[in-house]
A and B are shown apart, each in its own frame.
Chain A
Amino acid sequence: MSKILGLTGDGAVAYAVKQCNVDVVAAYPITPQTLIVEEFSEYVHNGEVHTEFVCVESEHSAMSACVGASLTGARVFTATASQGLALMHEMLYIASSLRCPIVMGVVNRTLSAPINIHCDHSDMMGSRDCGWIQIYVENAQEAYDWIIQAFRIAENPDVLLPVTVNLDAFILSHSLEGVKVLDDVEVEKFVSTRKPVLSINPDKPITVGALCLTDFFFETKRQHVEAMNQSPKTISKVNREFAELTGRGYDFIETYGMDDAEVAIICLGSTAGTAKAVAKSMRANGKKVGVIKPWVYRPFPTEQIVKTIENIKALAVLDRACSIGAPYGPLCSDVIATLYKEGIKLNVFNVIYGLGGRDMTPLDIEAVFNETLEIAKTGVIKEPVKFVGVRE
């Protein structure tokens, strides 16, 4: 029996973690992730969970404690944002390379300077090569649903990789929504408890984190790559089982209007919700526009994206981050590389938007769709990288 609770995005994350039998949470508060740790602290202090909550003195120690706990065989969660993720950067690589199936909520906030607490994806994009599975969600419901699925994906012996679930600062983290939640017993049945493959156990001593030089290091990285490459099988399996339980179907990408779309926008996170609403009204006026929203950003859903864009004539790639000095924003670079690799000739342009929490309004998105339609008609891209919503 599911019920509907009024939850913020952060609250939905905390509620999901409460239901997932998590052994250790080690976290450090940072705006706008604070609600996650605050609400989870209440579950701990009211005896609603068996979790050991380690209130560490920094995000670096948060991830360090998570690695120690995960290696010991515990189910582990943490959450952070922005500067906190940047401070963890060193540990992100170690967590994934030591194959620790940690789940982390990342409330996407920009990086200083100037200091700013609002949304963009610079934080996670700055760490996108850290070897973690990376999920982006559109709303609080998706945050709840993906956190639960993330434990199953991360801890699967065929995967053993950490997972981040990314949600947009304030737009999702602090906005109240109706969230369909499962009963505790249903979640418990779905996630069970962690069954570690190897763990720190004095009965069977192992050495973890040895010095690995030119003779073996490369092989460990190759295995890590392979684990990521093989993870889609597990992700799909977990999505299927979750759909059976909840009726809510997830996949690597979500599409809207793509069956007959002539042009499309591809974007991550909450902006996809606005884009779908705009597409809906434009389609009512006969404009064939569509939206592609990757839920899974790493591993990059090449196959699914290629399949959905086969018949379109132009594509706008929206990046809520810039890769300064690179030809395109991070998502656009991935999309263009995918198209080139698959031999697909498609007019693509990049929109950089929303940095530091600048709003991306329905009017902005409508303008992007109209420009994409114009490009589809003329084949001319005036600005390959367009900054939307900035004073120039």
Chain B
Amino acid sequence: MVRLKELPVEELFTSGHRLCAGCGAGIVARMTMKALRGPTVVVNATGCMEVASTIYPYTAWKVPWVHVAFENAAAVASGIEAAYKAMMKRNAWDKKVDIIAFGGDGGTFDIGIQALSGALERGHDFLYICYDNEAYMNTGIQRSGATPHGAATTTSPAGTKIPGKPEFKKDFIGICAAHGIEYAATASPAYWNDYITKVRKGLEVDGPAVIHVFSPCPLGMRFDSAKSIELARLAVQTRYWPVYEVEKGKYKLNIRVPKPKPIEDFLKPQGRFRHLFQPQFRYVIDALQRHVDENWKRITELCGEA
């Protein structure tokens, strides 16, 4: 695991961007840039990270950065990778370039999953990072395929009859791993050295790699912006966000949680779950706890820990 003093001092994702205070996406971008091993190009799907980091004529990126549209970061990365390969063949380019594509959960779980699946199947050499803030935060907090059960969003509001989102979150890493890619992992920004080590690992893989990182959103999840990292840690300590990796099909648990905190500890600080603490919606919290327990059992079994 990487150590603090080994990280470069240089900031390739600079201050001055317009992400909210406490935004997980900014923290993820900055930590990612600390893991680079050489010339790197960043592709960004439309979303918070994109709109807030490159408001013309300014940019927060000191590496080449490309935004094309919402659903196609993986396809754009495919084209960039193919271009370098072809230009190398005719001696118009001579160095290996790492390609990182960032997408939020909307651009990844939902509208962009086809382009991502295609790129993973074709085996392009790139690292895809999904920063998951669990809803369409950029457009005003609408539900996504990554929004957890019970969470209130502007399209799954805390109604009197339907208390938040009825559905559960997709198993995104399971989908990616099913493509037979060499490396897929989850991470949390609270465990920075685990995340940065994984980014480096993903870059070193010859072929596609995917990292799914929890991205606290003070605005959309409704919590104190000073407590983003605390929330990211609670997500892991409640077993809500298991941190593991899938290397050549083999699952490995990276952070053991022998004494899990109850899911309420993760839900309580967040306004999006406030309605669940009314007595008539207790059953939703129970369902969430059951889901967390079952998912943890499933993952740890896959990791050979259970």
Contacts and interface: CB of A to CB of B under 8 A. Distances in A.
Interface string B88-130: 0110110101000000000000000011011101100000000
Interface stretch (A54-62, A274-282, A354-362): A54-62
Interface string B17-57: 00000000000000000000001110100000011001111
A24 B54 contact: no
Nearest to B95: A202
B87 A57 contact: no
B115 A61 contact: yes
Nearest to A55: B122
Contact of B65 (A70, A76, A208): A208
Interface in A243-291: none
Contacts of A24: 79, 82-83, 86
Contacts of B72: 60-61, 64, 91
B77 interface: yes
Nearest to B85: A52
Contact of B79 (A66, A202, A203, A213): A66
Interface string A62-91: 101111111111101000000000000011
Query: Chain A, interface size: which category?
Result: 35 or more
Interface of A: 21, 23-24, 26, 50-52, 54-58, 60-62, 64-74, 76, 90-91, 94, 98, 193, 200-203, 205-213, 216
Given A64-B76, A68-B77, A209 B82 contact: no
B287 interface: no
Given A61-B114, A193-B90, A202-B39, A54 B79 contact: yes
Given A205-B61, A207-B61, A64 B115 contact: yes
| Residue of A69, A91, A212 ringed by the most chain B CB atoms within 10 A | A69
B66 A209 contact: yes
B80 A68 contact: yes
B55 A23 contact: no
A332 B75 CA distance: 38
Nearest to A56: B118
Contacts of B188: none
A270 to B, nearest CB: 32
Contact of A64 (B51, B55, B57, B68): B68
Interface of B: 39-41, 43, 50-51, 54-57, 59, 61-69, 71-72, 74-80, 82-87, 89-90, 92-93, 95, 97, 114-115, 117-119, 121-122
A67 B77 CA distance: 10
A73 B90 contact: no
B59 A65 contact: no
The list of the 4 closest CB pairs from A to B, nearest first, reads A68-B79, A57-B118, A65-B79, A202-B39
A24 B76 CA distance: 12
Contacts of A94: 68-69
Nearest to B74: A61
A202 to B, nearest CB: 3
Given A26-B78, A60-B115, A91-B72, A50 B63 contact: no
A200 B66 contact: yes
